[in-house]
Amino acid sequence: MFNYLNELNPQQREAVLHLDGPLMIIAGAGSGKTKVLTTRIAHLMANGVDSFKILALTFTNKAAKEMKERVEKILINREARNLYIGTFHSVFARILRAEAPRVGYPTAFTIYDTDDAKSVLKTVINELHLDDKIYKPATVYNRISSAKNALVTAEEYAKDFGLQQEDARANRPAIAQVYTAYAKRCFKNGAMDFDDLLLQFYLILKNHPDALHKYQHKFSHIMIDEYQDTNPAQYEIIKLLGAMHENVCVVGDDAQSIYAFRGATIENILLFRKDYDDVKIIKLEQNYRSTKQILNVANQVIGNNKGQIPKELWTENGEGDKIKLVRTMTDNDEGKFVADAIQEQKLRNHFFNRDFAILYRTNAQSRAMEESLRRMNIPYTIFGGISFYQRKEVKDYVAYLRIIVNPSDEEALKRIINFPVRGIGKTSLDRLILVANEQSITMWEVLTRAASFGFKAGTLEAIENFVLMIKSFASMLKNSNAYDVAFHVGKQTGLVRELFNDKSTEGVQRYENVQELLNSIKEWVDDKQNRAQIDEDGVMLDEGMRDEGEGMREENAALFSANLEVEANGPEDPNTKKPLREDVLLSAYLQQITLLTDADNKDEHADTVKMMTIHAAKGLEFSCVFAVGLEEMLFPSAMSINTREELEEERRLFYVVITRAKHKLWISYANTRYKFGQVVQNEPSRFINELPEDHLDRSYAGGGFRNQSSGPSASERMKGWGGSGGATPQNRTYFNEPKKQPEKPTYLPIQPPVSKPIAHQPSADFSPSDTTDLKAGQQVEHQKFGFGEVLKMEGAAHNPIATIQFKLNGEKKIMLNYAKLRIVE
DNA sequence: CGACTGAGTCGGTGG
DNA sequence: GACTCAGTCG
């Protein structure tokens, strides 16, 4: 082991050497925070701390992964893999697999993402007969989320006079009811939302002394990254967990606190000092990232905020260029400028694509950038926006997997009950929900006992087949790993085949996405199995769950899979088959993917220009940064200019974007910009005025960059050929655009067949025939389309579809249940 | 039942 | 401009 301590400056070393007792590290941007954290972990282990007892919590999977890798690099032995490093959400989710039954949840509980949660909210809002124009799911979701982040349960919420008043003033007096109903429904579904992962864990620690005791012992040393981003729930949990050893080390930078909107509070930094008797405080102020010019600008900007923890970042790095201030006429010109500048820098200074980042306030701003980069043939990757696992086709597939692991999961059930079509339509679904609510049972229970609720014969048969199918999948859980189950499900349901048969561009993409999903499951299973083989003691300790004890684990594994079959096949002899190890089980996989974000699936090392929001860029660094859209109403956001607190958070955001840059920084704004399809004019951001003049290069700001081209602008020229700028999720990572796209829109899409039918006067004696036995080859007459010949018959028995070649109107697909056809011969 | 269409809406950041 | 929702039609 090399002497890692030599790599540190005095402050960093001091932080690493402080092994026991509370420690707070105030780490300025680019001051080597991750290095200190990882070195400290290594040092703890070198000094005899059991690697299983170290807990490190981050906010992103990426940060967790990086930390793991860097610890592994320092340590030569393989101890690093025993560390408990992860995001708050993933670590707590893992613990909850073992502890959730204490609060009445199943071990294989489902984690609802934001879409699932909003969908549940929509359901309960409707059931409460509230107007969903006023009680918008998104708004209500945020409100409930804030409550949970502040550890306010539905009960407490309803009792809190202040909250009731706030809601009344906002014309949403029934939020408390919605919260209660929502919580109840999630519980019934065996599902937790993101915030529940914190709230429920907290409740368990608070109400179950033995659980608290267990985890206090389990984690002798705790480290928290990005401490300024913690919310009260996280704060309280850390406080509980750390209360026994008091070996809590937090790292944060108040200047980079940008997550107040999801409940984070800087208060936690102040509170930390009060919670322990002697908190060691260390400041890291030497910046290793940026040039002097950039750092000076950053320092000045943040100086406009009141109440910062005093610190002054400095650097030994070179002077560097001045910051380039750019003004353009339109948002499209802004994009064009950025693309040109990237091209120029690549040629002149030999930068790679990967050296550039375009950072913006809102995701919507990516479009103008994309268009110009595409036009210049510059490869780019957009981070943020819709995650792979949120895509419809992927989510549908996953819904099947969810339902077999947790049949109470109503959201999953609703997605797939009639997909692919199996004759359980909206009417039947409504009925099902009605019965479930009346009887206070889950939809799944209604399905399993459908016969006793008087569904009509056809529907009943469809339901019974469906139930049988799901049960047969569930019976696989016990003996098969996640991949085998998933593969089987795809095959049996016809999901994969259906997508395969769709040869449209989107269809092919969807098929590929589903293949990708299967690959990811395979990879996950293989990875887990490989890791497992390394352990000699045969105990599954993968991510540090060893202390749970073997008995516990098997019990869990049995529980997961038993869930369904108990009713399906009767209790099984537990001795016939050994239960599968927990970590290759489908339920574990499902919980994990919900916590993945868009960024976790993309290659950050690819040689592409990176585009993302400033929020998403926190913790990252780039040689060249374009901070775009510095306009009033956009940055600062129109919604954040009413209070000092809000405005200061926007300013911190500005500070964050400046400090992402290592060598070169452009700050740009446009005079006009499209918003909701309309042009709006904006003033330059007030933050521009806070930039120190002597560090600015204004040669692009005097209107020097105008709409200089004589012809129509890039975006205008691109209009009309397809794609809304390529912002579709499928092709967000874009490599060398094939040159098939002409400079001018000479290509027009093929016109779809004429949609208006050529008039046909029905025969005088027209009367619809019984078409149940219609066969290919028969001659028919259609009320509107006229005479034709049946080419083929397809579709399910309850919904037959005929393809008919009409003499006047060409080939059409006709659904016999609705169309009126007369059989001629 | 489901694909299509026109109208209406739009508050942003994320695990 | 993009997305969702209610209504229409085959």
| A542-571 confidence digits (pLDDT tens) | 333 333 333 333 333 333 333 333 333 333
Does any strand B atom come closer than 7 Å to the Cβ of A613? yes
The predicted pLDDT at position A121 comes to 93
Span A364-374, average pLDDT = 92
pLDDT band of residue A126 (cuts 50, 70, 90) is: confident
CA gyration radius, chain A:
30
Span A70-85, average pLDDT = 84
Q: How many helices (H) and strands (E) does chain A have?
A: 29, 24
Query: In sequence order, which ranges of A326-424 are alpha helices (DSSP H)?
Result: 331-349, 366-375, 392-405, 410-416
Spell out where A443-600 has E strands. none
C-alpha angle A145/A85/A559, rounded to 5°? 70
Does any strand B atom come closer than 7 Å to the Cβ of A629? no
Query: In sequence order, which ranges of A100-193 are alpha helices (DSSP H)?
Result: 114-127, 137-149, 154-159, 161-169, 175-188
Write out the two tokens for A806. Answer: 């009409």
Spell out where A688-731 has E strands. 696-700
The predicted pLDDT at position A475 comes to 92
Q: Is the separation of the CB atoms in A125 and A132 below 8 Å?
A: yes
Residue A226 bears catalytic tag? yes
How many Å apart are A367 CA and B9 C1'?
Answer: 20
Q: Is the separation of the CB atoms in A408 and A188 below 8 Å?
A: yes
Lowest-pLDDT choice from A454-463, A467-476, A656-665, A707-716: A707-716
- The three-state (H, E, C) secondary structure of A713-765, written as one string: CHHHHHCCCCCCCCCCHHHCEECCCCCCCCCCCCCCCCCCCCCCCCCCCCCCC
Span A136-149, average pLDDT = 93
Span A702-710, average pLDDT = 42
A480 vs A21, which has greater pLDDT? A21
pLDDT band of residue A600 (cuts 50, 70, 90) is: confident
The predicted pLDDT at position A762 comes to 55
Return the number of other C-beta atoms located less than 10 Å from residue A709's C-beta.
Answer: 11
The predicted pLDDT at position A716 comes to 32
pLDDT above 50: residue A531:
yes
For strands A779-782 and A786-794, give the pairing. antiparallel
How many Å apart are A514 CA and B5 C1'?
Answer: 29
Does any strand B atom come closer than 7 Å to the Cβ of A812? no
The predicted pLDDT at position A768 comes to 59
Cα–Cα distance measured from residue A191 to residue A188, given in angstroms and rounded to the nearest whole number: 8
Name the nucleotide with the smallest C1'–CA separation from A799: B1
Write out the two tokens for A797. Answer: 């028995």
pLDDT band of residue A347 (cuts 50, 70, 90) is: very high
Residue A177 bears catalytic tag? no
Give the active site residue among A193, A196, A226, A543: A226
The predicted pLDDT at position A502 comes to 75
Tell which strand B nucleotides have any atom below 7 Å from a protein Cβ. 1-2, 5, 9-15
pLDDT above 60: residue A176:
yes
The predicted pLDDT at position A753 comes to 30
The predicted pLDDT at position A89 comes to 95
Give the active site residue among A34, A60, A672, A803: A34
**Closest residue to B14 (CA, C1′):** A262
Q: Give the HSE-up count for residue A288: Cα atoms under 13 Å, Cβ half-sphere.
A: 11
The predicted pLDDT at position A760 comes to 53
pLDDT band of residue A721 (cuts 50, 70, 90) is: very low
A744 vs A109, which has greater pLDDT? A109
Does any strand C atom come closer than 7 Å to the Cβ of A815? yes
Top-confidence range, A498-502, A545-549, A770-774, A811-815: A498-502
How many Å apart are A677 CA and B15 C1'?
Answer: 31
The predicted pLDDT at position A456 comes to 83
pLDDT band of residue A804 (cuts 50, 70, 90) is: low
Query: What's chain A's average pLDDT?
Result: 82
How many Å apart are A118 CA and B14 C1'?
Answer: 15
The predicted pLDDT at position A624 comes to 97
Single out the residue of A486, A513, A468, A419 nearest to residue A729, CA to CA.
A513
**Residue A288 Ramachandran class (φ > 0 left, ψ -120 to 50 alpha, else beta):** alpha
Write out the two tokens for A561. Answer: 């899979």
A749 vs A669, which has greater pLDDT? A669
The predicted pLDDT at position A533 comes to 47
pLDDT band of residue A118 (cuts 50, 70, 90) is: very high
pLDDT above 60: residue A708:
no
pLDDT band of residue A509 (cuts 50, 70, 90) is: confident
The predicted pLDDT at position A361 comes to 96
Cα–Cα distance measured from residue A309 to residue A12, given in angstroms and rounded to the nearest whole number: 18
The predicted pLDDT at position A810 comes to 60
C-alpha angle A214/A218/A219, rounded to 5°? 125
Lowest-pLDDT choice from A305-314, A427-436, A525-534: A525-534
The predicted pLDDT at position A797 comes to 56
Span A244-259, average pLDDT = 95
The predicted pLDDT at position A569 comes to 32
Please give the single-letter amino acid code of residue A82.
N
Span A691-699, average pLDDT = 93
Cα–Cα distance measured from residue A192 to residue A408, given in angstroms and rounded to the nearest whole number: 12
Span A25-35, average pLDDT = 95
Name the nucleotide with the smallest C1'–CA separation from A820: C10
pLDDT band of residue A424 (cuts 50, 70, 90) is: confident
The predicted pLDDT at position A535 comes to 39
Cα torsion angle, A318, A69, A227, A278, sign = negative
Percentage of chain A exceeding pLDDT 70: 80
Write out the two tokens for A273. Answer: 């000092």
Return the number of other C-beta atoms located less than 10 Å from residue A479's C-beta.
Answer: 14
Does any strand C atom come closer than 7 Å to the Cβ of A818? yes
Residue A660 bears catalytic tag? yes
The predicted pLDDT at position A709 comes to 36
Does any strand C atom come closer than 7 Å to the Cβ of A676? yes
Residue A600 bears catalytic tag? no
pLDDT band of residue A3 (cuts 50, 70, 90) is: confident
Name the nucleotide with the smallest C1'–CA separation from A612: B13
The predicted pLDDT at position A299 comes to 95
Q: Is the separation of the CB atoms in A241 and A222 below 8 Å?
A: yes
DSSP state letter for A685: P
Residue A87 bears catalytic tag? no
Does any strand C atom come closer than 7 Å to the Cβ of A128? no
Span A569-575, average pLDDT = 33
Name the nucleotide with the smallest C1'–CA separation from A233: B15
pLDDT band of residue A770 (cuts 50, 70, 90) is: low
Single out the residue of A47, A66, A67 nearest to residue A55, CA to CA.
A67
The predicted pLDDT at position A413 comes to 92
For strands A622-627 and A661-675, give the pairing. parallel
pLDDT band of residue A576 (cuts 50, 70, 90) is: very low
Single out the residue of A105, A185, A588, A114 nearest to residue A410, CA to CA.
A185
A43 Cβ contact partners less than 8 Å away, ≥ 6 residues apart: A4, A5, A16, A17, A19
Span A315-330, average pLDDT = 96
Cα–Cα distance measured from residue A274 to residue A215, given in angstroms and rounded to the nearest whole number: 23
The predicted pLDDT at position A530 comes to 65
The predicted pLDDT at position A699 comes to 85
Give the active site residue among A107, A123, A256, A345: A256
Residues 771-810, chain A: which have Cβ under 7 A from strand C? 784
